[in-house]
Structure 1
């Protein structure tokens, strides 16, 4: 493995353990093209982790029906929230003197997802050999991964935009509100499109029947 390849593999692990230094390097010392490649790999790995969890996790912790699982939708469930977060965050911080570019927000968000892969992936297999009493460790690990993710997301936002901790927290909360508003608009738009298609379909059937 070449040194550049080793660096690509090692850096994400360095960042999640040393987030302040790691995110500083991510913003000021590393190529956005390389970071984008790693970001998309992380999104792919998280999607694969969710798919494998739905298919192979133990019945004690698996709430999904494997027969109804759609692999394509698992990618959508990962990609859409990330894009919504990035768009909402970028839109807000542009008005709040944030220094982060959209690609930097995207990269910092994707790197924050690493604990969700590292911790949840082994539990896909471990969940098949644990007893009911041991499921507490599974839920604790999931909670720890989520807390780690939120902390990395916080540090990433603070570093990318060069905000104070308080302003970062406020921005993240406003971003969640903006995501809810965006989701509402999307649902409204798709509902409107569906009604228009239904209306056109009814008119077409009427014309055909009368013709």
Structure 2
């Protein structure tokens, strides 16, 4: 992977319109996909480290109860739901973006969260209660920055107008909520089936 490819993520977050255009039409999709997985891994790592090592003034989690698999799921599931929901909707709305392009666009939009939140994990251990407002300001700033990048990315990858992009994003959020509901319903049903089978098995064993 050449140096130019490694500079692409930083270029995208500063020049999103040109950056996302280059990602879609100029850059190697294979290299962009590798970078996307790298960004997603860094976000997962940042999420885990933040839950474990953030200062007690801003950390609402108990480090002793940390579950790395759950922290990983908190990142992967929303990203997966977003990509699937957006791809499903935009396919019906004449969007030009492929699933891989949506995934790459989404991952690149998450870069500010990694770049800003990672150093604040360690800074949060030395700030005072009065200074904690800076911590929340930068976290919110990172989310807003990523949101703007995602907006530009979706608009570019699908070649939508700004108004259509806003409508698409709102519909995608609704679709994600519906997918989450179905997933919870499915796992609840599976849990009940497992409990039923377990109960029947215990009764058979006891009566045998």
Q: Which residue matches 2:37?
A: 40
Q: Which residue matches 1:82?
A: 79
Could you tell me how far apart the structure 2 residues matched to 1:208 and 1:53 are?
47
Q: Which residue matches 1:112?
A: 109
Q: Which residue matches 1:98?
A: 95
Matched, 1:142 2:139: yes
TM superposition shift of 1:198? 1.0
Aligned positions, number: 208
Give RMSD over aligned pairs.
Answer: 0.9
Q: Which runs of 5+ in 2 are unaligned?
A: none
Could you tell me how far apart the structure 1 residues matched to 2:135 and 2:3 are?
31
Could you tell me how far apart the structure 1 residues matched to 2:156 and 2:174 are?
21
Displacement over 2 Å in runs of 4+ = none
Contact 1:44 1:75 in 2 (8 A): no
Matched, 1:205 2:202: yes
TM superposition shift of 1:72? 2.1
Q: Which runs of 5+ in 1 are unaligned?
A: none
Q: TM-score of the superposition, structure 2-length normalised? A: 0.97
Contact 1:60 1:135 in 2 (8 A): yes
TM superposition shift of 1:56? 1.4
Select the residue among 17, 20, 28 that pairs with 1:20.
17
Q: Which residue matches 2:179?
A: 182
Q: TM-score of the superposition, structure 1-length normalised? A: 0.96
TM superposition shift of 1:5? 3.4
Could you tell me how far apart the structure 2 residues matched to 1:209 and 1:61 are?
52
Contact 1:27 1:160 in 2 (8 A): yes
Task: Write the deviation string for residues 87-145 of structure 1: whole angstroms up to 9, x where unpaired.
Answer: 00000000011000000000000000000000001111111111111111111101110
Task: Write the deviation string for residues 55-113 of structure 1: whole angstroms up to 9, x where unpaired.
Answer: 21111111111111111222211111100000000000000110000000000000000
TM superposition shift of 1:8? 2.8
Q: Judge which range, 19-28 or 195-204, deviates more.
A: 195-204
Could you tell me how far apart the structure 2 residues matched to 1:41 and 1:73 are?
19
